[in-house]
Amino acid sequence: MKISCISHQQWVILTVTGAIDSYTYPLFSKELDNVIRAGYRKVSLDLQQCSFLNISTLRYISKCHQKLYALGGLLTFIVEDQELIELLNMMCCQEITIAKSMGEIVAA
């Protein structure tokens, strides 16, 4: 798994390439924690090149979504895979925002 992190305007976009499994989950969660602790409130996960998410990752994403929502922030997702979109919708309590590109996220 590889994670790249870029900031664009008020957004931070984390792009995940490869699988997030029990071995790579700690790296992923640490990276997302660091972004939130740094004070960013508009975070987008680009999961277009992510080949696998384990259940721990889905639970963690849901917790981060709720945490940012409570802080007045937003966690959005760049993804086209319908099955993953359905899983994200089930796991997150609040409505989620899905986009097909970073441009859609930043324009919103």
Residue 73 has pLDDT above 90, yes or no: yes
Res 94: pLDDT: 66
Structural domain of 99 = 2-107
Res 1: pLDDT: 94
Average pLDDT on 20-33 reads 96
Res 38: pLDDT: 95
Closest CA to 67 of 38, 97, 92, 30: 92
Token pair for 69: 């929502």
pTM (2 decimals)? Answer: 0.90
CATH code where residue 74 lies: 3.30.750.24
From CA 81, how far away is CA 72, in angstroms rounded?
A: 27
Mean pLDDT of the chain: 91
Query: Comparing 108 with 27, which gets the higher pLDDT?
Result: 27
Pairing verdict, β 97-99 and 11-20: unpaired
Tell me the per-residue pLDDT of 1-23, one tens digit each, with 9 for 90 and over: 999 999 988 899 999 999 999 99
Q: Structural domain tally of the chain?
A: 1
Res 93: pLDDT: 62
